[in-house]
């Protein structure tokens, strides 16, 4: 994790940055791939836009503290929270400029965003903001004090979207660590009487996410998988060595 005293501008570039609306979003949707890429030696990071202050459980400070513990499980090199207002994200010029500035400083090659439709407005607003900020960050004249940078690839985590994924990543070896990261949020996933009618039990959450990961893993012949969507075609150079059986 980043030294809190290290100047933001002195950070080494990230290979992979996941942008999410709330703490615990990435743990559910793309935590496995973050862990897998970190294990391969890539520098990974997470930017949470809000601290989930409108949630029925926990406090913003507590959720941010829990997110730091989760980051350790996910082996990420950097994690921060912009503390924008939860349930009130707006895609406006101020937000886009702020986020573009962060991207210019972190210089990620790949960015993971939430899928562009969903039940919670913050999720699709985060997707819109992330995409537009990635574009703006590549404009030379956007800021005078930082060089332009535009990520090479944008992925959309589609775990909760009823769509066919562009590809699925095998996270069998990372699944237990991903669940440990998610359950770092004891305020959200511990069994509590607070808002008990709205929140499933710890065991139910574990079973649901395992079932979803098994479904996507089954699509590629593995135990657990995470699905992603891209908007562009994927190039294949060697069709003889393509993975995943057809029949």
The pLDDT tens digits of the residues spanning 76-125 come to 999 999 999 999 999 999 999 999 999 999 999 999 999 999 999 999 99
Instruction: Evaluate whether residue 2 is within a structural domain.
Output: no
Question: What is the residue range of 234's domain?
Answer: 11-241
Mean pLDDT of 216-222: 97
pLDDT in tens, 5-60: 455 556 799 999 999 999 999 999 999 999 999 999 999 999 999 998 887 677 99
Residue 69 sits in a domain of what CATH number? 3.40.50.10320
**Domain-located, residue 1:** no
Strand order in the sheet with 225-229: 78-84, 44-50, 16-20, 110-114, 153-157, 225-229, 167-170
Number of structural domains found in the chain: 1
User: Does residue 193 belong to any structural domain of this protein?
Assistant: yes
- Give the model's pLDDT for residue 216: 98
Nearest-angstrom CA–CA distance, 128 and 117:
10
DSSP code of residue 44: E
pLDDT of residue 3: 47
Q: Would you say the pTM of this structure is higher than 0.75?
A: yes
Residue 6 lies in a domain: no
Q: In whole angstroms, what is the distance from residue 96 CA to residue 130 CA?
A: 8
């Amino acid at each position: 994790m980043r030294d809190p005293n290290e100047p933001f501008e002195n950070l080494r570039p990230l290979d992979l940055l996941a942008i999410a609306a709330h703490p615990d979003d990435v743990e559910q949707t793309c935590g496995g791939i973050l862990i897998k890429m970190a294990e391969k030696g890539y520098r990974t990071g997470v930017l949470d836009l809000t601290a989930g202050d409108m949630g029925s459980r926990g406090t913003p400070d507590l959720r941010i503290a829990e997110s730091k513990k989760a980051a350790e499980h996910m082996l990420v090199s950097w994690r921060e929270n912009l503390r924008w207002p939860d349930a009130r994200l707006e895609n406006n010029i101020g937000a886009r400029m702020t986020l573009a500035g962060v991207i210019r400083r972190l210089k990620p090659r790949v960015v993971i965003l939430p899928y562009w439709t969903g039940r919670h407005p913050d999720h699709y607003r985060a997707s819109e903001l992330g995409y537009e900020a990635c574009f703006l960050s590549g404009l030379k004249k956007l800021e005078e004090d930082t060089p332009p940078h535009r990520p090479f690839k944008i992925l959309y985590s589609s775990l909760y979207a009823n769509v066919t994924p562009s590809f699925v990543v095998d996270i069998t070896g990372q699944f237990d660590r991903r669940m440990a990261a998610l359950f770092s949020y004891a305020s959200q996933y511990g069994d509590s009487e607070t808002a008990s009618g709205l929140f499933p039990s710890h065991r139910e959450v574990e079973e649901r996410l395992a079932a979803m990961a098994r479904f996507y893993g089954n699509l590629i012949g593995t135990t657990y998988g995470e699905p992603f969507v891209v908007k562009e075609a994927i190039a294949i150079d060697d069709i003889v060595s393509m993975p995943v059986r057809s029949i």
